Every structure is written in C-alpha cells, then in structure tokens.
Structure 1
Amino acid sequence: MPPKVIRGQGALEEDKKRLLPSYAQKHPLQHSWTWWFYETDKTKSWDENLKAITSFQTVEDFWSVYTSVKPASRLSHGCDYCVFKEGITPMWEDKANRRGGRWLMILPRRNRLLQLDYLWLETLMLMVGESFFHYGGDICGAVVNIRPRCDKIAIWTKDAHNKQNILAIGWKLKEGLGLGPHIPFSYQVHANTILKARKYDQKDE
C-alpha cells in the first residue's frame, strides 16, 4: 500500500488554479469602463440627472453589469445609457470630448424591440472588446438614447479632425453591426450639435 502524501494548502491552491477551466478566471479588458444612466427630470439640472452606476475592467464584470441592468428597449423615454472609458464623463464639456464627435445611427421606434437591444449590445462588444484595433484609442464611449420618435446609438470619438481614424472607426462599426441603407448612419461634430441645440433652445424661449 503506497504511503499517503499530505499536501499543504498552498499546493492545493495551485492544483485548483491549474484545474480550473479558463472561463472560470477573469479576463481583463484593455481599458476600464464606467456605466452611466441618465433619466430626464425637469426639476433637476442635467448634471444631477446623470448617474455613474458602476465600473468594470474584465469581460466577466461587463457581462455581470449588462445582465443586471434593464434592457435599453425597456427604458422610459428621455433615458440614456452611456458606457465610457473610466475618467471620461459622457458630456460635451469633458476635455476628452470637446474637440470630438460621434458616429450616430437612428433607429425608428417601431423597430425598438427587434433591433435596439441587439445593436446596443453589439456596439458595446465591439468597443470594449477593442475590435477597432489601434483606432480604439480615439474612442471615448458609447451612448444609447431612448426618445419618443426614434432611438439613437452613438460611438463618441475624441478628435473630429482626424478623418482617417473617424472613417476607419465608422467603417468597422458599420461592418460589425451589419448596418444596411435603411438605418441612417452619419458622423456629427459635437461643436455643430451644440450650436444646433442652442438655436433650438432659443426658439423655445
């Protein structure tokens, strides 16, 4: 009868690590990300309506966050989800966004249940999974807006004047999502969007 071999706790832990399947270990993302939620409340300022929910930096934590929040298609009108690199606030005034813009797709409300959640998830996976390769350094984050007439999904970039990077990101996003001609898809410079918003506000005064 062979003698018993007594293994210390340290050796047992090493065995456990070797035997654990790779999917049981967390896989770090290249960047840390923060998930934000915006809910329109006219009694509060825009800043007060924007809340950081949590941050994540691994594939597993991304899925944990995504599956724990309400699907975008079930949000109320006037609500947004924003997922941005840690340290960047999803607002035009943030120094990382001031000179930037966004690739924007507009989705008819009638397609909300069919398309919105799929396209939002695919956009997030392309972004946090670094599918944009070295152009990913120009990406600040992604936003989904829920509105009465239509919904919007956008990827924000930090430099609206870097045409090469903008076109590469737009091409990869369109290809990765399989966007057809029926979905309006264009690049907007934040400075121009701000100007349009101010003119709209002045008309309402």
Structure 2
Amino acid sequence: MVAENGSSTGSSVMSSWDNEDFCNDINNDNSYGHSKIQNDSIQNNNILVVPQSKPSPNDHLLKHEFLLSSFVKTPEVEWDNYEHLTTPIAIFKSWEQFWRVILHMQRPTEIKSRCYIHIFKDGIKPLWEDPGNVYGGRFMITYKKKDTLADLHWEKMLLAFLGSNFHDSLISGIVLSVKRNNLVISVWVNDANKREKLNNLVFDLKTYLDLDDDTRIRFMKHKEDTFVHCF
C-alpha cells in the first residue's frame, strides 16, 4: 500500500494470522511489551492479535495519542456492562506503532464475532456519556456483512483520522460495529449542533470514500439516540 504522501506503508493493512503460533512468537519476545489483557483478548475473543511496542526515537509521531479497544457481544453480555467489558488493546503514539498494531488485525469482513472496535483520541471513552462525546453524535455508513468496500473504507478512515487532517477538531473517534447481518462504520463527532461543520464533514466524507449516490449516511445525536438526518 502507498500512503497519501506517496511513501510506502507496507503490504495489506489488515491481515489474519495464525493466532496460536503468533502468540507463541510474541510470548518469547519481550521487545513487544504486550500485556496480559491483550493476550486474554486474543485467546478468548479470537478477534485481534496486537503486538505492542514503544515508539522509537526515529518514529513519526502522531498529533494525538490514540486508544484502540474492543467490546465483544455474546448472549451472556448485557449492554449495561459495555464500559466495564470494553477491553483496552493498545495505545499508539506514532505511525510505526499504528502499523504494528493494524497489520495484525483482521479485516472487518473477516471478523466472525459480534463486536465493536473503537479507535478514539486518548482520554475519550467510546461512550455517549463521556464529556468528549455527550454533546455530539455519530455518522453511520452500513455495509452488507461481506462487502469488501467496508474493508477499504475502514482502512481509509483510520488513515484520515490518525493523520489529524480530516476535520480533526470535530472528530473524537471512529467505531467499527460487526453485527449479525451487517457492518457499520461510525464517525463520532464532539458537537452535534455545528450544522455547517457537519455538512462539510459529510461532503468531504463522501468525496474521500468515493461513495456513490445510493449510499446513505445517517446521523444520530448521542443524547437523543434518534436519527436526525440522512445524507
């Protein structure tokens, strides 16, 4: 893949690994600095394989620190426990850290478990009630479960969000929702009342993702939990 600045960023952004073999490799390599909670999420949820490393002096630092976390929905799990059962997976501060993490994630269309994957600016929880989200809302694009456009769009949104050059002051995080019959990519914003800025974001989002006229983007305010507009 080639980054927007023309530099090479590696091969496929998200790829599946053999979980057992790869866990054995990183368990024998202290340089990864991975935590027990990360190993637990790998073994129990079978979603992510995340080797964690510290940024090196030569890394290309991001404008913000970002937290990657996940929530896995099972019949035994109640929505009331969302915050408690959301698992922190990795914090990354540089592009190099980001690629080490993302290269070991499955593509959205490859994830079988019903789950939610969040990437937020560090300090903002993936909760409507968080101070960074409470007055905001979210834009949502829905895909069929095996629509590979979701893979491409998720990758592009990650790059735009982390690059901090895509409505950075407005966007607090992005969420991938893997549901029973579809996939949803959500862009969370911190202020649902800045209509002009929201309209500009939607226009740029459609252009950046090259969405066709039939693709609808829904917007919902966190406080009201109702659809306000469909673009």
Q: TM-score range by the shorter chain?
A: 0.7 to 0.9
Partner residue of 2:151?
A: 117
Contact 2:108-2:150 at 8 Å conserved across structures: yes
Pick one of 113, 135, 139 that aligns with 1:103.
139
Corresponding position: 1:142 with 2:178: no
Partner residue of 1:11?
A: none
| Mapped partners of 1:82, 1:94: distance in 2 | 14
Corresponding position: 1:37 with 2:36: no
| Mapped partners of 1:77, 1:181: distance in 2 | 31
Partner residue of 2:58?
A: 25
* Aligned 1:54-133 pairs, distance under 5 A: 54-111=90-147, 114-132=148-166
Alignment partner of 1:191: what SS? coil
Q: TM-score, normalised by structure 1?
A: 0.76
Alignment partner of 1:136: what SS? coil
Alpha-carbon distance, 1:59 to partner: 1.1
User: Bigger CA drift: 34-43 or 116-125?
Assistant: 34-43
Corresponding position: 1:173 with 2:205: yes
Contact 1:99-1:191 at 8 Å conserved across structures: yes
| Mapped partners of 1:51, 1:165: distance in 2 | 32
Corresponding position: 1:152 with 2:184: yes
Gaps of 5+ in 2: 1-56
Partner residue of 1:201?
A: none
> What is the RMSD computed on CA atoms of the aligned residues?
1.8
Alignment partner of 1:69: what SS? coil
Partner residue of 2:194?
A: 162
Q: Highest Rg: 1 or 2?
A: 1
Contact 2:116-2:178 at 8 Å conserved across structures: yes
Q: TM-score, normalised by structure 2?
A: 0.68
Alignment partner of 1:32: what SS? strand
Alignment partner of 2:116: what SS? strand
